Each structure stands twice: as structure tokens, then as C-alpha cells.
Amino acid sequence: MNSRGIDTISLDGAPVRDALLESLKNRIIEAGHPHISLATVLVGSDSPSQKYVASKHKAAAELGIDSVRVELPEHATQEELEREVLALAKNASVHGILVQMPLPVHLNAERILAMIPAEKDVDGLTEASLGKLVRGTPGHIGCTPLGVLRLLEYYNIATSGKHAVVIGRSTLVGLPLSVLLARKGIDATVTLAHSKTHHLEKLCLSADIVISATGCPRSITGAHIAPGATVIDVGISRTDDGVVGDVDAFSVRGIAGALTPMPGGTGLMTVACLMENTVNAAAMQGVAV
């Protein structure tokens, strides 16, 4: 018990990630190790992007998923990139395509995303995938929103009829997450807050679940959190103090009922959910897995 009265549970990502990867591994073994392939497309030599792509290939290799790596130089043209993505889109032995974002500014990311067939869109970023999410039809859900859902499920955090405040409305995280949480079967009552929202503190105080995805370091404090509420920190900011989240954990602990650690929380889920989407992509394309 904390001096402020509530023993805040830590929603660690590691056991959730491990359980998800283990279940995918078993699914692949039970299917007799069918060929499943994930292709990544990396343009340029941005070092965080290179690291992210490498971690995705490592996770794939550990599950027995084959990797295709396409790497283009920083100055690659739109036509060159489109040629590569089109070839992957047409290649029946490639089940998932991930174009690492952000692309260099001279490239049109929307046109590239539009070339990825919905069933191969393991990042869940295309108009088709976002449309399916809104329609509630089967499709790939973005890895970070899906990771948040998997965390809530694993730790039995009730969502039905609960008020969830999602802070941040990007098409990568906040917007799809708000749609996902409101879906039939998950059934949260969702408020989507953003940079123009008034009275954010008051709004968050009425929430059972607060999910922050703004990239504003330590901006969510104990003053935002109702006693016992669940707090999910998606933000990642590199500061002089190192990598920090959107949540001021020191101030929130002892008030929240549960809180994701940073690091070690939501960030661990993203690659695991990419693997989930890749296995599902193969199944959608006729692989018996």
C-alpha cells in the first residue's frame, strides 16, 4: 500500500509480449511450420528506423517467419520505391508488407501506403485497414493500438461501459485506438482528446482508463487521475533525463489502480503485435495457420 492509499499495479509488457509470442509460435508449430513471410521496406539510413526494422526481423526469425528486406538509399525516387512495393504486393509468397515510416520528405507516403493490399498491410495504416476498423470488418489493426488492447485483456482491465479517455488523435495511435475501444465486444465509452481539448485534467478525472499518446513528456500527473483508474502510457520522448513517457509515474503512483511502466510497457507490445498481424495475414491469404 502506498502512502497515498492505493497500491498501483504495474502493467508490465514483458509477460504479455511473451505470452503472445508463445501462442503464435505454437500456432505455427501446430500448423507444421508453413512458409510465412514478412517484407520490410526501409528508405535511407536513419538509425532509429534501422533499429526498429532489425528488431522486427529478429522477432520474425525467432518465430520461424521468413524475412524479405528491401533497402533503398535516402535519395531513392518515388518511382523506384513504388516499383519495389508493387513487386511485393504482387508476390504471392510475401504475406506482410511494412514500409518503415517516416519516409524521407521528398517521398509521398500516402501513395506508397495505397499500394499495399489490405490483407498484406500488417501495420494497419492504409485507408483500407482503417476503413475496416471503422466498419468492424476483419482486417489488420495498427500494432500499437492492438498492443494496448492486448495489455488491457491480459491484465483483465474491464472496458465494457467504462469511460476511456484517449489523448492524441494520430492515425498511427490515438484515432484507431479510440475506434477500437468503442468496438462492439470491447464496449468502452470513449473520449478522444487532443491538443485543442479544453479542461483535459477535468476530463481525465472522469475516466476509468486514461491512455496518453501525445509525446509530451510527463504531462499526465496525479492531478489528471481518479483514484483507482488505469493509466496507459504510450508516449516515448527522448529527453536529457533519457527516454520518458507521457505520464509522470511518480505523481500518478498511489492514485492510479494500474499503470504501464516506461520503459517496459506498451513499447514491448508493438513488435509482438506485428507478428500477430503477420501470422493473421498469412491465414487471410490461404496459409493454413
Q: Cite the active site residues.
A: 56, 100, 123
Q: Which three cell numbers stand for residue 41?
A: 521496406
Element housing 275 (H / E): helix 267-284
Stretch that binds ligand NAD, among 20-28, 30-38, 105-113, 262-270 (CB under 6 A): 262-270
Q: Which three cell numbers stand for residue 275?
A: 507478428
Distance of CA 130 to the CA centre of its chain: 13
Q: Which three cell numbers stand for residue 243?
A: 527516454
Element housing 242 (H / E): strand 242-244
Q: Check binding of 237 to ligand NAD (CB under 6 A).
A: yes
Q: Check binding of 144 to ligand NAD (CB under 6 A).
A: yes
Please identify which residue in 124, 139, 174, 257 interacts with ligand NAD, judged by CB under 6 A: 174
Q: Using CB under 6 A, count the residues that bind ligand NAD.
A: 25
Please identify which residue in 215, 222, 263, 264 interacts with ligand NAD, judged by CB under 6 A: 215
**Residue placing its CB nearer to ligand NAD in the complex, 96 or 245:** 245
Q: Check binding of 109 to ligand NAD (CB under 6 A).
A: no
CA distance 27 to 227: 40
Please identify which residue in 100, 159, 266, 280 interacts with ligand NAD, judged by CB under 6 A: 266
Please identify which residue in 235, 248, 279, 282 interacts with ligand NAD, judged by CB under 6 A: 235
**Residue placing its CB nearer to ligand NAD in the complex, 3 or 239:** 239
Element housing 191 (H / E): strand 189-193
Q: What are phi and psi of 166, to 5 degrees?
A: -100, 125
The interface mask with ligand NAD, positions 184-213, x = CB under 6 A, is ---------xxx-x--x------------x
Longest CA span, the chain: 61
DSSP-assigned beta bridge partners for residue 9? 258
* Contact predicate 259/289, CB 8 Å: no
Q: Check binding of 261 to ligand NAD (CB under 6 A).
A: no
The interface mask with ligand NAD, positions 268-287, x = CB under 6 A, is --x-----------------
CA distance 120 to 139: 10
Q: Given the rule CB under 6 A, which residues bind ligand NAD?
A: 144, 167-170, 172-174, 193-195, 197, 200, 213-216, 219, 234-237, 266-267, 270
